[in-house]
Structure 1
Amino acid sequence: MIKRFALPLFAAIFSIYISSCSNTTNNKQSISSAEIVKDTIDTIPPNLLFGLPVDSFVIENNTVKRNEFLASILLKYDIPYKQIDLLAQKSKSIFDVRKIKVGNPYYVFLSNDSLHQAKYFIYEIDKINYISYSLDDSINITTGQKEVKQIKKTATGKITSSLWNAMTENGVSPVLALELSDIYAWTVDFFGIEKGDYFKVLYTEDYVDSVSVGISSIEGALFHHRGDDYYAFHFQEDSVTYNYFDEKGNSLRKAFLKAPLKFSRISSRFSNSRMHPVLKISRPHHGIDYAAPKGTHVFSIGDGRVIARGFQPKGGGNYLKIKHNSVYTTVYMHLNGFAKGVNQGDKVKQGQLIGYVGATGLATGPHLDFRVFKNGKPIDPLKVKAPPVEPVKKEDMKRFKQFYKPMKDEIDNLILIENLH
């Protein structure tokens, strides 16, 4: 009797235990799921703008208007003039508020309540950098940068008129033309580009808020000029130094730039007998005239020292003479003015801004009269053969070959786009 009764009783008790365990497990699972959901909600990042949570403020965005200054902007938001003056004083070591530019964006973060008090003023210095002013009693000033996304790109194009036009015709940022002209300044004569020349480029373009803000680097390029291929590979020589080399490891830099200014045209060449446009007499013209708009930047073609700076009313107008070494001297004439800090006796670097194109002296229009002297005698600037700088070091050649060969293959395999328009 006892054994028969005990069995069903045991079964009932066991069933209750199993059910209890099951409920406990379900409860644990339910709690665990709730915790996971809560953790997920807690870790959703806030929507930030300039590092500030957007949902916590009312934000007004505008651009600096003509004759508008920091004070005139903030006074509209009831910021006391005394506080604005203190803000400007504290800002001096970080950013001079007098340099706020017309057209640049700014943001005012207002409290998200009925008072709408101004809490932060954000001014965009450029497309990447900004400065943030806390407008509370304890003024806090910080600088920041927007997130920059780098995108690897390729570009090709055949030149029909100019490098600049080739870029725009093929849907490529024309800024790339400037970058290429810098890389190949010692190798390619950009004033002698011929129809049919072409380029292929591997480069990185920077974007902020889905808008291009410039080209950060050109990793490799091919420029086909007058039947010859000129490669350029951006090789890291040591922990900090990058330079451009061709496939043989020779540097693309030379002792002199090919020309002292960018993107103009040759209006008169080197000659021993030329009809002077003002004097109307035939006489030697031992230089190259580059026609360019007034104010165009003029650069020193090499390192050197300014040995003369002056004005010739019946000749070269404002002029500079730079001695580069014991052999070469260059002269830049008809300048509209001189660059700041470029005086007689000063040292200048290759590519340094030294003056601006003008029409001073005997000139019919704005242009640069550029002359080169070798051992005191004038020579044709277009025929100067300057020696290259140091090539890739022998101990780095193996690493250089491993670096450039895959890149060269990628460049060679790019399909040349002749014109998209």
Structure 2
Amino acid sequence: MKLRVYALLFALVLIVSCSKETKEDDTPIAEPEPTPQLEYGYDLNDYLVLRDTVSSGDTFGAILDANGVTQNIIYQIATTYKDSFDVRKLVVGKPFTILKSKDSLEQTQVFIYEKNRVEYVVIDLRDEISLTNMAKPVTMKTKEASGVITSSLYETMVENDLSPYMSDRLATIYAWTINFFKIQAGDRFRVVYTERFINDSISVGLGDIQAAYFEHKGRELYAFKFYPEDGDEKISADFYDEEANNLRRAFLQSPLKFGRLSSRYNLKRRIAYYGNKVRPHKGTDFAAPVGTEILATADGTVTKSERRGGNGNYVKIRHNGTYETQYLHMRSRNVKVGDYVRQGDVIGWIGMTGNTAGPHVCYRFWKNGKQVDPFLQDLPASEPLAEQYHNEYYTLYAAIEGPIGLYSVLT
């Protein structure tokens, strides 16, 4: 009898125990909240996400139509927001993202198009349609770089894993003081600059050059960007040397940023084709590929812009009562008579019009009505930095450490 009772009690314990285990097993386990995936101002966890790039032949309308957006809505977007986003100008290769609802309808709710790595446009189709031009947060980092010229400035940048745009920036800064057609192997540079980053890790291009040093033919050339803190409207942000002299001159060294000096001004030049007779060359030729931009070497007014005889397409500019310049053999011209141009403006493009054996620009320079060699002229410089700003200027750049400092020498 006792054995039966014990057996029943043991069975009851087992039943109760199993019952508890079953109840515990049936209790649902709460899923952890997903980590927010924030992008473009949206939590991507809330949507079905489609990422793609614009392909050849794609149009804004075709992309949205393929994703269930009606033609009426497409037309409404194209017309209502045409001033802030031209839907006809989608660029092949640019990425776009479509956010769809997480239900059986999978309805397109947001269209995002990246204009570049920083700027993008958001078209929200939920409720009332809205379009917003946005930009990703960008941070600036100060960096330093240096190099020794091996062949060209551009190739040296590539060899040192620097942006090729750096060569363009340096050429612009030193356009008045260095003839980049004559830089030599062994010339060297050092530069302090800012670089733009997204998420502190993805580079989206150069910012500003803050200071630079260039050693050319043994000559040390400093450049420090400066703008006074008081924001004097009479002072523009510009580059000055170690003595606070403006690097700008009245004329650029060359009408091209890059190319090759192919023929100098030479009044005693002899040409075999003409029986070695003296045929004076009163211009300075700069060779470069067809289509290279030709720049006005100084401010002035266009007095000639035409095609004529051996000059081909050419432009002539009067800068003041003393100086004029002329640019020959252009493929095409970018200015007309009466236009006022600023130093560095594109006035045309390298070509082979007129009497020329290859693509180049023949640059001619007049002083007091007489053609002269531009490289032999003592051309005026811009005004130096006003003395009232010297303390601020020297304090700012004396603090830069290393070879680029105002009182240091590159070793």
Q: How much is the aligned-residue C-alpha RMSD, in angstroms?
A: 2.3
CA distance in 2 between counterparts of 1:73 and 1:414 reads 59
Q: Does the aligned pair in 1 maintain the 2:172–2:257 contact within 8 Å?
A: no
Aligned partner of 1:395 among 370, 373, 388 = 388
CA distance in 2 between counterparts of 1:199 and 1:98 reads 44
Superposed CA offset, 1:6-55 (max 9, x none): xxxxxxxxxxxxxxxxxxxxxxxxxxxxxxxxxxx99x994321112221
Match of residue 194 from structure 1: 184
SS of structure 1 residue aligned to 2:294 = strand
Q: Is the aligned partner of 1:296 residue 2:292?
A: yes
Aligned partner of 1:348 among 334, 341, 344 = 341
Aligned partner of 1:214 among 199, 205, 222 = 205
Match of residue 169 from structure 1: 159
Match of residue 168 from structure 2: 178
Deviation larger for 107-116 or 149-158 = 107-116
Match of residue 258 from structure 1: 253
CA distance in 2 between counterparts of 1:384 and 1:53 reads 65
TM-score, length-scaled by structure 2:
0.85
Q: Does the aligned pair in 1 maintain the 2:214–2:220 contact within 8 Å?
A: yes
Give the 3 Å change call, closer, same or farther, for CA 191–73 of structure 1 in structure 2: same
Displacement after TM superposition at 1:359 (Å): 0.7
Deviation larger for 406-415 or 371-380 = 406-415
CA distance in 2 between counterparts of 1:191 and 1:366 reads 16
Displacement after TM superposition at 1:275 (Å): 5.2
Letter in 2 for 1:394: E
CA distance in 1 between counterparts of 2:216 and 2:151 reads 13
Q: Does the aligned pair in 2 maintain the 1:316–1:334 contact within 8 Å?
A: yes
Q: Does the aligned pair in 1 maintain the 2:99–2:109 contact within 8 Å?
A: yes
Q: Is the aligned partner of 1:63 residue 2:56?
A: no
Match of residue 11 from structure 2: none
CA distance in 1 between counterparts of 2:395 and 2:106 reads 61
Q: Does the aligned pair in 2 maintain the 1:198–1:223 contact within 8 Å?
A: yes
Q: Does the aligned pair in 2 maintain the 1:220–1:233 contact within 8 Å?
A: yes
Give the 3 Å change call, closer, same or farther, for CA 410–144 of structure 1 in structure 2: farther
Q: Is the aligned partner of 1:318 residue 2:313?
A: yes
TM-score, length-scaled by structure 1:
0.83
Displacement after TM superposition at 1:136 (Å): 3.4
- The unaligned stretches of length 5 or more in structure 1 are 1-40, 417-421
Match of residue 224 from structure 2: 233
Match of residue 133 from structure 1: 123
Match of residue 332 from structure 2: 337
Q: Does the aligned pair in 2 maintain the 1:278–1:364 contact within 8 Å?
A: no
Aligned partner of 1:284 among 252, 276, 280 = 280
Q: Does the aligned pair in 2 maintain the 1:156–1:414 contact within 8 Å?
A: no
> Comparing both chains, which one has the higher relative contact order based on Cα–Cα distances under 8 Å and sequence gaps of 6 or more?
1
Q: Does the aligned pair in 2 maintain the 1:57–1:110 contact within 8 Å?
A: yes
Number of aligned residues: 372
Overall identity of the aligned pairs, in % = 39
SS of structure 2 residue aligned to 1:189 = coil
